[in-house]
C-alpha cells in the first residue's frame, strides 16, 4: 500500500499535502482500495468553511456512500472538477489527479495533530 512520505494523514484515511498555509486533500490508497470502484464524487464548493473533522465531501462506490472529512479547519479554495467528471481517478491516482479539494488553513498548528506516514502505516498495518 502506497503511503507517501511527504503527506500527513487523518485516522479517517484522508491525506493532506501542506504547502505554507494551504493544503491539498484526498483519500489514501488504502481508502480507495477498501471503497473499491468509486462511481460518484462530490467535492466541496470553493468558499465553504469547514472545521477539522467536518464532512467536506462525499464519495460513493457501487455498494456504499462514504463521507470525506476535512483533516484541518479552514476555507475551501479549490475543488477538483476532474474527480466529479471522472470519479475513477480516486481509485487510479489517489495521491495525484484524484485530489479532492484545496483548503486555506485557519489554524496551521492543527497539522501537528495529524499522523505522520509511519503512524498511518502502523494504523493500516502496511
Partner 1 sequence: MRTPLFDAHLAAGGRMVDFAGWEMPVQYSGILDEHKAVRESAGVFDISHMGEFFVSGPGSTAWLDSLLTNNVAALADGCAQYSLMLNERGGVIDDLIVYRLGLENFLLVVNASMIGEDAAWMKARLVEGIEFENASAGFSALAVQGPSTGGVFEKLFGREMPVERNRILEIGEDFVVTTGYTGEAGFEWIMPVQEAASAWRRSLDAGAKPCGLGARDTLRLEMCYPLNGSDLSPTRTPLEAGLGFFVDLNKPDFVGKAALVAQKAAGIPTRLCALRVTEKAPPIRPHYPVWIGGEPVTETTSGALSPSLGEGIALAYLPAGFSKPGQEVEIEVRGRRFRACVRKKPLYQKET
Q: Is 1 within 8 Å of 30 (Cβ atoms)?
A: yes
Work out whether 60 is an interface residue with partner 1 (CB under 8 A). yes
Strand partners, 101: 25, 79
Residues in contact with 116: Cβ distance below 8 Å, sequence separation at least 6, in sequence order: 8, 9
Work out whether 93 is an interface residue with partner 1 (CB under 8 A). no
61 versus 70: smaller Cβ distance to partner 1: 61
10 versus 59: smaller Cβ distance to partner 1: 59
Q: Which stretch binds partner 1 (CB under 8 A): 5-13, 34-42, 69-77, 104-112?
A: 34-42
37 versus 54: smaller Cβ distance to partner 1: 37
Q: Which residues of 4-21 are buried (b: 16+ CB within 10 A; e: fewer)?
A: eeebbbbeebbbbbbeee
Work out whether 11 is an interface residue with partner 1 (CB under 8 A). no
Work out whether 36 is an interface residue with partner 1 (CB under 8 A). yes
d(CA 35, CA 24): 21
Work out whether 39 is an interface residue with partner 1 (CB under 8 A). yes
Can you give the binding site for partner 1, defined by CB under 8 A?
A: 36-37, 39-40, 42, 58, 60-63, 65
Amino acid at each position: 500500500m502506497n503511503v507517501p512520505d511527504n503527506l500527513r494523514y487523518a485516522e479517517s484515511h484522508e491525506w493532506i499535502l501542506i504547502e505554507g498555509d494551504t493544503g491539498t486533500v484526498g483519500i489514501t490508497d488504502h481508502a480507495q482500495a477498501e471503497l473499491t470502484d468509486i462511481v460518484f464524487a462530490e467535492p466541496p464548493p470553493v468558499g465553504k468553511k469547514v472545521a477539522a473533522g467536518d464532512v467536506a465531501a462525499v464519495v460513493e462506490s457501487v455498494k456504499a456512500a462514504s463521507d470525506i472529512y476535512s483533516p484541518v479547519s479552514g476555507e475551501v479554495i479549490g475543488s477538483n472538477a476532474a474527480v466529479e467528471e471522472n470519479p475513477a481517478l480516486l481509485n487510479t491516482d489517489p495521491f495525484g489527479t484524484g485530489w479532492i479539494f484545496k483548503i486555506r488553513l485557519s489554524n496551521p498548528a492543527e497539522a501537528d495533530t495529524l499522523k505522520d506516514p509511519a503512524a498511518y502505516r502502523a494504523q493500516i498495518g502496511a
